[in-house]
Amino acid sequence: MNLPASQTFMLSAGINVKKINTILKDANMTLAGNACEPEAGTVLDTFDAAVHKSDALLIQTASDLVTICWSGDVIAQAAPESEWQFARDLPQGPVRDLLLDLSPLRAFIPEAQVSIVRDIFSLLDDEQKTCCRVETVSLSRGGNTWSWLRTRPMRGYKDSHALICDILKKMEKSELPAEVLKLKVSDYTSKPVIRLSENDPARKSLCTIVQAFLQVTRRNEPGLINDLDTEFLHQWRVSLRKVRSVLTLFKGVVATETLDRLKQDFRDIMQDTNLMRDRDVYLLSKDDYFALVPPQAHPGLGVLFELLQQERDEAFEKVKTMLESKAYKKQIKSIQKLFENPKDLPKGPKADAPSKAFAADLVLKRYKKVCTLAGSITDKTPDETIHELRIQCKKLRYLIESAQPLFDVKQVKSLLKTLKGLQAHLGSFNDQSVQQATLAQCLDRYPDTAPNAKALAESIGALTAMLYRKQLEERRLIIENLSRFYSPETQDAFNALFDLKNTATKQANTQVDS
Amino acid sequence: MKLIACYSNKGGVGKTAASVNLAYASALSGNRTLLCDLDPQGASGFYFRVKPSEKLKSNIFFEGTKKFANAIRETDFHNLDLLPANISFRDFDIFLSRMKKSRSRLNKALKPVDGEYDMILLDCPPNISLLSENVFKVADGIVVPVIPTTLSQRTLKQLYEFFKEQGYQASKIFPFFSMVQQSKSLHLETMEAIRTGNKQVLNTWIPFSTHIERMGIHRAPALSYGEKEEAVAAYAQLWQEVQRLFVH
């Protein structure tokens, strides 16, 4: 069909229809709206600004839930009748689909109040025939207005579309709504940009990395205490684990006693959170579990999930108390302080090694270790070895990610992709083991005489069988992915990136040759 | 894609009003619909406020089938497009006769829009010409508005005779009563008489109504502003009947 493409315009003001109509007079045309009334709206986003980062705004009014993607479309669905926090809580609709895709696990939190006017303008000719439509949204906050206009061309009216686009283009001032409306956008990221210099001493680089991760830990505390969503705990734990890993993996950089003390500190801090995270993971996949077992096992599964929820709530109270305690605050602050100044960090024998060479050597050794282990895995390998492989892969991943700023981003990313593919299966394999163990524990803890004991036991039996089946399937997939991981191509890529000595020699040889 | 023609070999029988409202009802029930205004005296375009553009008036308009597609205009109503009438439509017959080879030239002309529409409605000129004959051949159905008078009864008879002479399928013809005045006993008697001899006559009939006549003032399909009026609602019912016959 011969239809021009829709165009989008942004204005740092309201839509001046009078002005547009003055210009349209020459063409014997008018732009007419429906005089829609402004509505009160709330801007929502996640803690990590997922909506903003996707170049969109999410606004809830009394009647609608609207996403405005400034280079794309306005998507709306009826506002839910009850309070909601998560995309999954929303009734079926296009906005739900979009948000589920954007951030399936995070809570959407109110950020600002705005006034919103939505309208569809018609560009009319002198016969009052519509020749083009313009969908508009105007948002106002504290005396500032930002408008978004998107043309909807009509078949057979190319010229009219061109005309209105021309006018709007001249009026356009494409500033983003956050700037115009002075919306505060969260700068939180779980993956902070870390800047390292290749010749800095390893101790300095280590401090930079640890500081960045500890900041992530600290930023997650308020949301975790308020229990806004499960990601706060998850990212709090991941950041601490990364710190712990990098300290251990950067072998010889920190003095042994300091390292041992720190490791103990981390164990203390994280101990109380293990149970809560484990139950969170369970509860997040509640629907999947119900889908796994036949309907007759559902009542029993209901009992199980009540039990898990109860345990989770108790675990949360413990974590909350811990995080709010003076002891924790003192401990975490003292850890942060330790890494503030590299010179104050008690050093080990490798503290002054140049960062890049040091890191490259570590990665290469670790990769070779993983390859040796991977090469030994067959259909008959015991589960323990697969768990060991998972841990080694995790270490390798943390190591590469920590040292990433010292190497070529693109090359590192492509290697990480292969690693992540393998890790996904190793992760599921592990989850299924852990979950089978948790189920067994639940059965032990629940009194045999309780009214639902039989139903619970049956549902646990059904679930365990299904998990075991899934685990077998994951094993198969792990072996399938392994060969790719230690293939000659991947090995070459690792060597090219991390075998600095050989690469340097090769380059020198090439120079001699030429 | 279904092709329905609204045709009458007699003028002033409510043919254009029927075309416009059937097309509107078709679009409303979710069919991507194209209404072709083939009647130079008709006013389908007028009812949708669509002007015949300067470009369309040129004689070379129908040289290529692509140009045909370019002439299509989106109406103000969802799912409903219009191919506006223009002066060269008087030459539409000549255009068809110039395309010597194929006898189903209209089919060929409609090819570039095939697939874009579920329903194409033709508002045909009120004469028997090469264009009409092409329509008779390619259309899936021909709905014929008939005012229940003796004169109209005679015209309808002529149409059937013509079909017989030419060997066209008379089973494609679906007459319906238009501009019916229930107060006139002649209307009721004629309806009775025609129905007795013709099983193809549609059940729905359109009453004579000022609400329909006002289309010229509203410049929009009567169904879009007066669907609650009995006479106007009859078009929706007529569409339901047509849909049952042709859209599966």
Q: What is the pLDDT of residues A254-272, one digit of tens each?
A: 999 999 999 999 999 999 8
**Chain-centre distance of CA A304, in angstroms?**
29
Closest-CA residue of chain B to A2: B70
Return the pLDDT at A459: 85
Phi and psi at residue A425, to the nearest 5°: -70, -40
Domains A8-180 and A202-350 share a fold: no
Task: Tokens for B182, please give them.
Answer: 């229930």
Residues of chain B positioned with their CB less than 8 A from the CB of A151: none
Q: Does A154 touch chain B (CB under 8 A)?
A: yes
ipTM over 0.85: no
Q: Which residues of B touch A (CB under 8 A)?
A: 48-51, 69-74, 76, 81, 116, 219
From A127, A154, A157, residue closest to B49, measured CB to CB? A127
Judge: domain B2-143+210-243, CATH 3.40.50.300.
Answer: yes
CA-to-CA distance for A390 and A423, rounded, in angstroms? 7
Return the pLDDT at B241: 95
Return the pLDDT at B114: 62
Q: Do the Cβ atoms of B72 and A156 come within 8 Å?
A: yes
Q: Does A128 touch chain B (CB under 8 A)?
A: yes
Specify the pTM: 0.79
The answer to whether the CB of A393 falls within 8 A of the CB of A367 is no
Distance of residue B4 Cα from the nearest chain A Cα, in angstroms = 22
Mean pLDDT calculated for residue range B179-188:
92
Distance of residue A32 Cα from the nearest chain B Cα, in angstroms = 14
Q: Do the Cβ atoms of B74 and A155 come within 8 Å?
A: yes
Q: Which residues of chain A have pLDDT under 50?
A: 512-514
Question: What residues does each domain of chain B span?
Answer: 2-143+210-243
Inform me whether the pLDDT recorded for B48 exceeds 90: yes
Residues of chain A positioned with their CB less than 8 A from the CB of B78: none
The answer to whether the CB of A51 falls within 8 A of the CB of A185 is no
Percent of chain B with pLDDT over 90: 52
A344-363 pLDDT tens trace = 899 999 999 999 999 999 99
Mean pLDDT calculated for residue range B81-97:
58
Distance of residue A389 Cα from the nearest chain B Cα, in angstroms = 56
A415-426 pLDDT tens trace = 898 889 889 889
DSSP B160: H
Distance of residue A132 Cα from the nearest chain B Cα, in angstroms = 9
Question: Which CATH code is given to the segment(s) A354-500?
Answer: 1.40.20.10
Judge: domain A8-180, CATH 2.40.320.
Answer: yes
Return the pLDDT at B31: 94
Among A175, A138, A173, A170, which Cα is nearest to A22's? A170
Return the pLDDT at A505: 66
Return the pLDDT at B110: 64
Question: E strand or H helix at A64, and its extent?
Answer: strand A64-69
Q: Do the Cβ atoms of A128 and B71 come within 8 Å?
A: no
The answer to whether the CB of A233 falls within 8 A of the CB of A273 is yes
Pick the more confident residue, B25 or A460.
Answer: B25
- Mean pLDDT over each residue of chain B, to the nearest integer: 83
Inform me whether the pLDDT recorded for B101 exceeds 70: no
Inform me whether the pLDDT recorded for B97 exceeds 50: no
From A129, A154, A156, residue closest to B49, measured CB to CB? A129
Mean pLDDT calculated for residue range B18-47:
90
Task: Tokens for A162, please give them.
Answer: 């061109």
Distance of residue A45 Cα from the nearest chain B Cα, in angstroms = 34
Return the pLDDT at A65: 95
Inform me whether the pLDDT recorded for B61 exceeds 70: no
Return the pLDDT at A458: 84
A336: left (phi over 0), alpha (psi -120 to 50) or beta: alpha
Return the pLDDT at A217: 97
The CATH number fitting domain A202-350, selected from 1.40.20.10, 2.60.120.260, 2.60.40.10, 3.20.20.100: 1.40.20.10
Return the pLDDT at B53: 54
Residues of chain B positioned with their CB less than 8 A from the CB of A122: 76
Tracing tokens 């006898």 back to the chain, one arrives at B103
Return the pLDDT at B243: 93
Return the pLDDT at B113: 64
CA-to-CA distance for A54 and A71, rounded, in angstroms? 10
CA-to-CA distance for A63 and A460, rounded, in angstroms? 43
B24-48 as b/e, with b when 16 or more CB fall inside 10 Å?
bbbbbbebbbbbbbbbeebbbbbbb
From B48, B72, B219, residue closest to A155, measured CB to CB? B72
Tell me if residue A202 falls in helix, strand or coil.
helix
Distance of residue A414 Cα from the nearest chain B Cα, in angstroms = 43
Count of alpha carbons within 13 angstroms of residue A57, beta-carbon side:
29
Percent of chain B with pLDDT over 70: 79
Q: Do the Cβ atoms of B73 and A157 come within 8 Å?
A: yes
Among B25, B50, B27, B26, which Cα is nearest to B37's? B50
The answer to whether the CB of B7 falls within 8 A of the CB of B15 is yes
B108-135 pLDDT tens trace = 666 666 678 899 898 988 877 767 777 8
Return the pLDDT at B90: 47
Size of interface A-B (CB pairs under 8 A): 33
A222-255 pLDDT tens trace = 999 999 999 999 999 999 999 999 999 898 999 9
Q: Do the Cβ atoms of A154 and B70 come within 8 Å?
A: no
Secondary structure E strands in chain B:
2-6, 33-37, 73-74, 80-83, 119-123, 141-146, 173-177
Distances (CA, A) of A204 to A251, A256, A344, A399: 14, 17, 11, 16
CB atoms within 10 A of CB A14: 14
Q: Do the Cβ atoms of A154 and B73 come within 8 Å?
A: yes
Residues of chain A positioned with their CB less than 8 A from the CB of B50: 127, 129
Closest-CA residue of chain A to B67: A2
Best B46, B53, B76, B217 residue to mutate vs chain A (most A CBs within 10 Å): B76
Return the pLDDT at A463: 86
Chain B neighbours among A 279-298 (CB < 8 Å)? none
